[in-house]
Amino acid sequence: MLDLKVIREQTDQVRAWLKARHSTVDLDAILALDGQRRDILGQSEELKARRNEGSKAVAMAKKSGADAAALMEKMKELGEQVKELDDKLADVDTEIGRKLLEIPNKLHETVPLGADERENVEVRRWGEPKKFSFEPKAHWDIGELTGTIDSERGVKLAGSRFTVLSGLGARLERAMANYMLDLHCLKQGYTEYNVPLMVSTETMTGTGQLPKFAEDLYKIGGDDDVPLWLIPTAEVPLTNLHSGETLSEDDLPMYMTAYTPCFRREAGSYGKDVRGIMRLHQFDKVEMVKLCTPETSYDELEKLTADAESVLQGLGLPYRVIVLCSGDIGFGSAKTYDVEVWLPSQNCYREISSCSNCEDFQTRRMNCRYRPAGGGKLRYPHSLNGSGLAIGRAVLAVIENYQQEDGSVVIPDALVPYMGGVKVIPPVGK
C-alpha cells in the first residue's frame, strides 16, 4: 500500500507510473480527501487548544469562587464540536484507506513499458522443443487414452472447470508435488509449511487480493457470519504468517514453501482453456515465498526465478522466461518474471510460474516490519512470491512432452522414484 505522503510529495511521479500501468485510480480524489483531512485536523487542533485554555479558566474561576457555569457551558460546546470533527476525520481516514488499497504497486525501473502481454520481453530460453515423428496430441486426449484424466465426471461432480485424475494420473500429480517440495526444501533452503486453506478478510487484504479481486475469490461463511475465503494461492497465508509482527534483521531472509490446493473463479463456462487441466477452479500448487531486506530483494528475485526454473530443468521440459511489461504486470508486483513451459499440442509456450517482487507493497498492508541490525528506525521488509510450480500445468506439460505415438507417456527420470518405480503410463488395456 502506497504511503499517502508519497502521493502528496511525489504526485507527478505517481501519476506517471499509474499511467504506465493503465490504471484508472483517481489520484485527484485522494489528494482532495487528504486536503480535507488536513483541514479537519487544523480545525480540531485549534478547538482543542481553545478548550485547554478554557479548562484552565474554569479551574481558576472555581478557585477564586467565581461563577464558572458560562465557561463550563462553552467548554461543553467546544467538546461537542471536537467530537464532531473527530467523527468526520474518522470517516475521511476510512475513505482514504479504502482508496489507497486500490492503488497498484509502483513499478521497478527495469520493467518494460507496454500495453499488454504482446509487449512482454523474452529474457532467455532453456531446452529445445522435441520434434515428433507424429502429430502430438493434446493432454486431454492422452488422458482419455490412458484413463488418467476424466473431465466429464469432474463436470458431473462440480460443473465446468473441474476435473478428476485417477490411477497413475493422480499418482503423477502427487509425485510432482513431492518432487518439488524435496527440491525446494532439501536443496534450495526453503522451510515447508502446512497452512490453512481458508483465511480471513484481513489476511486476503494483506497480500492485495482484497478488495480488488473479490469477484475472483470464493467466499464462504465463518463463525458468527464473519466470512472466510478459500485461498487462491499459498502466497496468501505464507506471506501473512508475520503480519503485525516486528522481526529482527537476523531473521531475514526467510524462505517459505507450501503445497496446497488453490481456488479461483474463472469467468464463464466456455472460452480459453476450458478443456483439460490448464485452467481450473481448483488446482494444486507448490508456492515459494520470501521475506528479505530491501537491499537484497532483486537478487532474491533472480534466485526465486532460478528455483522455479530448476524444477523444469530437472524434468527436462523446455521453457522460456519473460519479464512482464507495465500493462500486463500484476496489481501487487513491482517486477515479475513469467516462466512459460513448451506445450507441443499448442505449439507455443504457456505460463507455468510467475515470480514477483512486491517490495514493501504487501508488508505495509499487513504491517510487518523489522528492526535493522545496527539499530535505528523500523523498516518494512520486501516480500516475494513464485510458483514452484503450478502442479496441474506441470503434469500436463509432462504428458504432452513425453507422449509416445501409441498414447503412452514416459515418466521423466526425476519423477520415477516418486512414482514407485513406474516408468511409463500405458494406454488403457496395455
For residue 387, say whether it is annotated as part of any ligand binding site: yes
Q: Is 354 annotated as a binding residue?
A: yes
* Residue where the block lists cell 467565581: 66
Let me know: does 298 contact 405? Beta carbons within 8 Å.
Answer: no
Distance of alpha carbon 287 from alpha carbon 150, whole angstroms: 26
Any binding-site annotation on 302? no
Angle between helices 168-182 and 391-401 (to 10 degrees): 120
For 174-193, the DSSP string reads HHHHHHHHHIIIIIS-PEEE
- Matching residue, cell 520493467: 111
Strand, coil or helix: 97: helix
With the CA atoms of 144, 408, 388 and 390 taken in that order, what torsion angle do they form, in degrees rounded to the nearest 10? Answer: -10
Find out whether 351 is annotated in a ligand binding site.
Answer: yes
Q: Is 243 annotated as a binding residue?
A: no
Place of cell 520486501: 382
Distance of CA 137 to the CA centre of its chain: 33
Residue 378 DSSP SS3: coil
Phi, psi dihedral angles at 359 (to 5 degrees) = 50, -130
Residue of 275, 332, 308 whose CA lies nearest to 387 = 308
How many C-beta atoms lie closer than 10 Å to residue 248's C-beta? 10
Q: How many residues does the chain have?
A: 430
Cell of 231: 485461498
- 228-230: strand order across its sheet: 198-200, 228-230, 218-220
The whole-angstrom separation of Cα 255 and Cα 60 is 64
Q: Are 308 and 387 spatial neighbours (Cβ–Cβ below 8 Å)?
A: yes
Residues acting as catalytic residues: 264, 279, 351, 354, 393
Q: 260: closest CA among 233, 242, 228?
A: 233
Closest C-alpha to 395, from 78, 189, 148:
148
**Distance of alpha carbon 346 from its chain centroid, rounded?**
28
265 assigned ligand-binding residue:
yes
Q: Is 385 annotated as a binding residue?
A: yes
Q: Where are the beta strands (DSSP E) in 25-178?
A: 121-126, 149-150, 164-165
What residue has cell string 505460463?
Answer: 351
The half-sphere exposure of 95 on its side-chain side, counting CA atoms within 13 A, is: 16
Which residue numbers belong to the known binding site? 233-235, 264-266, 287, 351-354, 385, 387
State the binding site for L-serine. Answer: 233-235, 264, 287, 385, 387
Q: Which residues are annotated as a binding site for ATP?
A: 264-266, 351-354
